[in-house]
Structure 1
Amino acid sequence: MDFNLDETQQEIKGLVADVLGREATRERLEAFEKSAARPAGERGEPSSRSGPPYDEATWKALAQAGLLGLVLPEDVGGAGLGPVELAVLLREVGLHVAPVPAHASLALAAVPIARHGTAEQRALLAPLAEGATILTGAYREPGPAGEIAATARRDGGGYVLNGVKTFVPYAREASLILVPARVEGAGVGVFLIEPAAAAITGQPSATSEPLSRVALDGVRAGSDVLLGGAADGAAWDTLRRSAVAGAVAISSGVIEGALELTKEYTRTREQFDRALAQFQAVTMQISDVYIAKRALDVAVWAGVWRLAQGADDAEEVLTVAAYNACDPVIKALYTCQHLHGGIGLDVTYPLHRYFAWGRHCAHLLGGADDRLDALGALIASGGAG
């Protein structure tokens, strides 16, 4: 298998890098962070920030370049591309630590809607291609990542949903939340729920990206909001695999950005009249960071390629990538901070963004122990997702 990007994917990478290099500059990121209100304590109350908790200009620029339509169906103005192309986009988002709802809107929502939605449901994606709306999905619940305890009880021609979802990004800002729930007498279905129908409470986040607890207490939903009209688990399988693939792609970009920043710092910072990079101990630590980055890269590209091919072991490989994002990469980010000395903890220096985003992705993925448990279960079951 060849994990080199083809011509189209290289062009996408170049276009995303150009747009984000122009929009997500250090000065813009600093201005955005200064304009954002700080979380109100551990309760995670709503921010008092007047604008949305993402960079609108960057979001619009991605839309104008046609990048938000990469994985959208062609009948709603998209390009109809797949997991590899989405990973290319999200990896650049991580590399530039761009505060945009790309993972929430595309990986958690657009991908499952595009693949499983009815014509009417797919039509809901048209505004996303133009950057006129954002969407999100509820991948996590209390407990291990990827498990579903929420229920959907049949009631006349519709359903009644009960349960709790956690760490849902942009829940208040989204026009729709994709909510997986176990349907009585069937399997797991994914419901397209309006945020106003649920009780949404803010949760602490490592980055400017808002996370929320979404409580479903007798939420009524018509049969037309069940994705694809079926509760056979297929839409949920797509959502959770896409959620993991997107998060590890972002993490891959994050560790590359942190490594590049650290390499430049150790190359130019002098101690005892020598550049830090000339000390053997520093060189060995930089090498450890590079190894962690490469291990994640290989798992990411292998995972999204297998996902695109519909391979049976796609979920197993993505779980390997998730473990790498949750453990070796986090340790590598600590090493980057250590090599920077005190400036590595300074929020006026850009390294803190990479560290925060790395932790953020690891949190959404469930953590290292959780991913090892999931990998063991997949191996024991033969890799079936």
Structure 2
Amino acid sequence: MTMELTEERLALREVVGDLLALTPPEKVWPRLCGEIGAAGLAIPERYGGAGASLLETHIVLEQLGRTLTPTPLLGSAVLAAQALLLTSPAAAERLLPGIADGSQVAALAWAGADGRWDVPAVTASDGTLRGTAHYVLDGDTAGILLVATRDGALYEVDTADPAVTRTAVTTVDLTRRLAVVELRGAAGRRLGPCPLAHLRDIACVALSAEQVGAAARALELTVEYTRTRVQFGQPIGAFQALQHRLADLHILVESARSASYAAASALVAGAPETPALAAVAKVHCSETLQAVAAEMIQLHGGIGITWEHDAHRYFKRAHGAAHLFGHPRDHVTRLSTLLPTPTPGTP
């Protein structure tokens, strides 16, 4: 099972790529929403969206990963929007139109300080929320604040509530906006039970698209550099040892793309193997981006560790993204419970 790259999806990839190449980062989000409708691709038409699917959003996220362009697409149009779709039709009808057209940005508060996403950091008692959520995508600026609680429910919280404190944090990856959200007895509007395990699968699959895009572009930049950097009278890309290393990276990137596309296809199809494929995509795409970014730094030599070169941006994205929605080792552990146990005596 893999994602079919139809003519429409290829055209979408090309249009988004052109827009990102020609638009200053601060103007990308209004254009993505106004001209392409990116925020509403996976939102049904009855809620103001385009009625496409997460496969189309996957295409956009992969292009955003290539350029490391900061937008609220992952946190607002995927994580928060899908949480609403999975939880409450009434809340979806009220909140999703603004998310779909990009006029509203939504944030979902979930994980604790330990970076684990299997148990929410916030508790709820009679509509009162207490706890501190970390790693909240766009949490300090979002106009809509959703909170996942330990009882498996989703709440809406007024961002103006004095019992709510939202603080932007300095991140290693400066292209990813994260915040800490502290709730000290904040009033919450319960929207209903939310399947958090499935929502995390959605998040991991979407993140894997970004990681594949970033890894592919980092490899392209590295290959281009080896063709122009001359040592011992010839481009370093002519040395067989480096060719082998770059070939290995190419295989890694393509296998990561396959894993990401397979997980996205299974997710949209509602296939029973979705949790396992989502975990595989999270692990393999995280490790691939880290490997490619590390080789990018090394093969660029001294320039690769300067602030002026983009290599450090991909390196920081690689390590920041690996921890988002659970560390790869957590998903490896999860895979041990999802995959069938081999029968003794079988290969």
TM-score of the superposed pair, with normalisation by structure 1:
0.81
What aligned pairs does 1:75-86 form with structure 2 within 5 A after superposition?
Answer: 75-86=46-57
Q: How does 1:104-143 map to 2 (within 5 A)?
A: 104-143=75-114
Corresponding residue SS for 2:39: coil
- Other-structure match for 1:17: 17
| 1: CA distance, partners of 2:274 / 2:237 | 39
Q: Aligned equivalents of 2:150 and 2:340: distance in 1?
A: 24
Aligned pair in 2 of structure 1 residues 331, 139: CA closer, same or farther (>3 Å)? farther
Matched, 1:286 2:246: yes
Superposed displacement of residue 116, structure 1: 3.4
1:108 and 1:294 map into 2 onto residues whose CA distance is 26
* CA distance 1:301–1:139, shift in 2 (3 Å): farther
Alpha-carbon distance in structure 2 between the residues aligned to 1:201 and 1:380 = 43
Partner of 1:261: 221
Aligned length: 338
Q: In structure 2, the residue corresponding to 1:171 is in which secondary structure? A: coil
325-334 vs 143-152, greater mean Cα deviation: 143-152
Matched, 1:313 2:273: yes
Aligned to 1:189: 153
One of 35, 53, 60 as aligned partner of 2:30 = 60
- After TM superposition, give the deviation of residue 320 of structure 1 in Å: 0.8
Pairing of 1:212-227 with structure 2 (within 5 A): 212-223=179-190, 226=191
CA contact (8 A) 2:165 2:182 kept: yes
Which residue is 2:345 aligned to? none
Distance 1:326 1:367, change over 3 A: farther
Q: Percent identity?
A: 28
Q: Post-superposition shift, 1:268?
A: 1.6
The aligned residue for residue 171 of structure 2 is 205
Gaps of 5+ in 1: 29-54
Shift of 1:6: 1.6
| TM-score, with length taken from structure 2 | 0.90
What is the CA-CA distance between 1:293 and the residue it aligns to?
Answer: 0.9
Query: Structure 1 residues 108 and 10 mapped into 2: Cα distance closer, same or farther (>3 Å)?
Result: same
Compute the displacement of 1:240 (Å). 1.3
Q: 1:274 aligns with which of 217, 221, 234?
A: 234
Q: Hey, what's the Cα distance between the residues in 2 that align with 1:286 and 1:372?
A: 27
Tell me if 1:70 matches 2:36: no
Q: Secondary structure at the match of 1:365?
A: coil
Aligned counterparts, 1:22-33, within 5 A: 22-23=22-23, 28=24
8 Å contact from structure 1 (residues 114, 122) kept in 2? no
Stretches of structure 2 lacking an aligned partner (at least 5 in a row)? 343-347
